[in-house]
Structure 1
Amino acid sequence: MSIGTGIVLVVIGAILVFAVNVEVQWVDLDMVGYILMGAGFVVFLIGIIMLTRRRRTETVSRTSVDPATGAPTTRRSVSATNDDVV
């Protein structure tokens, strides 16, 4: 979602900078466009970083002895996020 938001901010900023030729006394639309494009790039980069962090997986393996049979049992869990899954 943040990647799409970043792209939208860059597009709106580029439209304000390059396509709109309106003079407004109380605001500089070119500066607002550059600010939106900069914020869009930052949001896009944060979205990419968060996407790569989410893709990490953790594998946990636990070995214990079943008291009834005496046989070793192994439990493995794989987590796609930072949540603990057993």
Structure 2
Amino acid sequence: TLVDVLEFAGTSSAKLNGQALDASQIKVEGQTITLTLTEDQVKANGGQAVELTFDAKIKAGANLSAYVKEDGRTQIPNKASYDASFPHKPGVHT
């Protein structure tokens, strides 16, 4: 989920174990981007890298004062999380 001073810009893409995933597996809703893997993809690629790529830009007129550091630089956080909704671990959120 992007912080409120950012917005998605352009297209997004995803790879699983270095292989491109179908764009239909990526959904952007408001400030949140979601990549959904099938059960078969998860089973066949355990321990492999998942890469989600997208562009974001600062919203016009955004107030960045909360992101200005003591040295004068502006830094907007970039955090990601994942949900593993498996029967044996429902609701895992990291």
- What TM-score, normalized by structure 2, do the two folds share? 0.22
Which structure carries more relative contact order (alpha carbon 8 Å, separation 6+)? Answer: 2
Which has the larger helix fraction?
1
Which has the larger strand fraction?
2
